A and B are shown apart, each in its own frame.
Chain A
Amino acid sequence: MPQLFRPASNTIAKGSIAVVVLLLGGTLAVGYITDRGSWMTFVQVAPEQPIPFSHKHHVKDDGIDCRYCHTSVETSHYAGLPPTETCMTCHSQIWANATLTQPIRDSWATGRSIDWTRVHDLPDFVYFDHSIHVNKGIGCSTCHGHVDEMPLTYRVNTLYMNWCVNCHREPYKYIRPRSEVFNIDYEYPANQEVLGRRLMAEYKVKDARTLTDCFTCHR
Chain B
Amino acid sequence: MPTENPEEKLLATNVQVIDPGPASVLAPGHTYDSVTDKIAGTVFLKWKNTPKGWIIGALISFAIVNVLLYAVSVLFLKGVGIWGINIPIGWGFAIINFVWWIGIGHAGTLISAILFLLKQDWRTSINRFAEAMTLFAVACAAMFPILHLGRPWLFYWLMPYPSSMWLWPQPRSPLEWDVFAVSTYGTVSLVFWYVGLIPDLATMRDSAPKLWMQRMYGVLALGWRGSIKHWHRYNKAYLLLAGLSTPLVLSVHTIVSFDFAISVIPGWHTTIFPPYFVAGAIYSGFAMVLTLIIPLRSWYKMQDIITMRHIEASAKVMLGTGLIVAYGYTQEAFFAWYSGDPYESFMYWNRMTGPYGFTYLLLILCNIAIPQALWSGKVRRNVPLVWCISIVVNIGMWLERFVIVVVSLTRDFLPSQWGTYIPTGWDIATYVGTLGFFVMCMFLFVRLLPAISIFEEREVVHHGGHGHVEPAYEP
Residues of A within 8 A of B (CB): 1, 4-5, 10, 13, 35-36, 158, 160-162, 165-166
A-B contact count (CB 8 A): 32
Inter-subunit contact A165/B166 (CB<8 Å): yes
- Report which of B166, B214, B223 forms a contact with A166, defined as CB distance below 8 A: B166
Q: Which of B195-219 contact A (CB under 8 A)?
A: 205, 211, 214-215, 218-219
Inter-subunit contact B166/A4 (CB<8 Å): no
In the complex, the chain B residue whose C-beta lies closest to that of A13 is B223
Q: Given the known A-B contacts A10-B223, A13-B223, are A4 and B205 also in contact in the complex, defined by CB atoms under 8 Å? A: yes
In the complex, the chain A residue whose C-beta lies closest to that of B208 is A4
Does more than half of chain A's interface fall in helix, strand or loop, or is it mixed? helix
- Report which of B2, B165, B215 forms a contact with A5, defined as CB distance below 8 A: B215
In the complex, the chain A residue whose C-beta lies closest to that of B1 is A1
In the complex, the chain B residue whose C-beta lies closest to that of A214 is B167
| CA–CA, A166 and B219, complex, Å | 49
A36 contact set on B, CB distance < 8 A: 164
Q: Given the known A-B contacts A4-B215, A13-B223, are A160 and B164 also in contact in the complex, defined by CB atoms under 8 Å? A: yes
With A13-B223, A165-B167 given, can you name 7 additional A-B contacts, CB distance below 8 Å? A1-B3, A4-B211, A4-B218, A13-B219, A160-B166, A162-B166, A165-B165
Inter-subunit contact A160/B223 (CB<8 Å): no
Q: Is B339 in contact with chain A by the CB < 8 A criterion?
A: no
List 6 interface pairs A-B (beta carbons < 8 Å), by A numbering: A5-B218, A13-B223, A35-B164, A160-B165, A160-B166, A162-B166
In the complex, the chain A residue whose C-beta lies closest to that of B2 is A1
Sort A-B residue pairs by CB-CB distance and give the 9 closest, nearest first.
A162-B166, A161-B165, A160-B164, A165-B166, A4-B218, A4-B214, A162-B164, A4-B215, A162-B165
Residues of B within 8 A of A (CB): 1-3, 163-167, 205, 211, 214-215, 218-219, 222-223
Most buried by A among B2, B164, B167, B215: B164
| CA–CA, A36 and B165, complex, Å | 12
| CA–CA, A162 and B164, complex, Å | 5
Inter-subunit contact A162/B163 (CB<8 Å): yes
Inter-subunit contact B205/A161 (CB<8 Å): no
| CA–CA, A69 and B2, complex, Å | 90
A4 contact set on B, CB distance < 8 A: 205, 211, 214-215, 218
| CA–CA, A4 and B215, complex, Å | 6
A161 contact set on B, CB distance < 8 A: 164-167
A5 contact set on B, CB distance < 8 A: 215, 218
| CA–CA, A46 and B2, complex, Å | 72
**Min CB–CB distance A34 → chain B (angstroms):** 11
A166 contact set on B, CB distance < 8 A: 166
B211 contact set on A, CB distance < 8 A: 4
| CA–CA, A165 and B162, complex, Å | 13
A1 contact set on B, CB distance < 8 A: 1-3
**Min CB–CB distance A128 → chain B (angstroms):** 16
A162 contact set on B, CB distance < 8 A: 163-166
| CA–CA, A165 and B211, complex, Å | 60
| CA–CA, A10 and B219, complex, Å | 10
